[in-house]
Amino acid sequence: MIEAKLKYNQGFFEIIIEGDYVLCAVSGKKILIKDLKYWNVELQEAYFSPFEVAKKFRNV
């Protein structure tokens, strides 16, 4: 499996470098591109689930 490079936009993302997954910015878990649902446009970060989103912004 190859890590992808994405640009996160509001409601969609662009694939900059083709791959199978991205890494969660909080947990480091692999997120398959087809399963990616959570990201932050300003920080350009992906999150595995709402749990990681909550954890990220509790600590900010």
What pLDDT digit, counting tens, does each position of 37-58 carry? Answer: 999 999 999 999 999 999 998 8
What residues make up the domain containing 23?
Answer: 5-58
CA pair distance 3, 18, nearest whole angstrom: 8
pLDDT at 60 over 80: no
pTM of the model: 0.90
Select from 51, 18, 19 the least CA-distant residue to 38: 51
Number of domains in the chain: 1
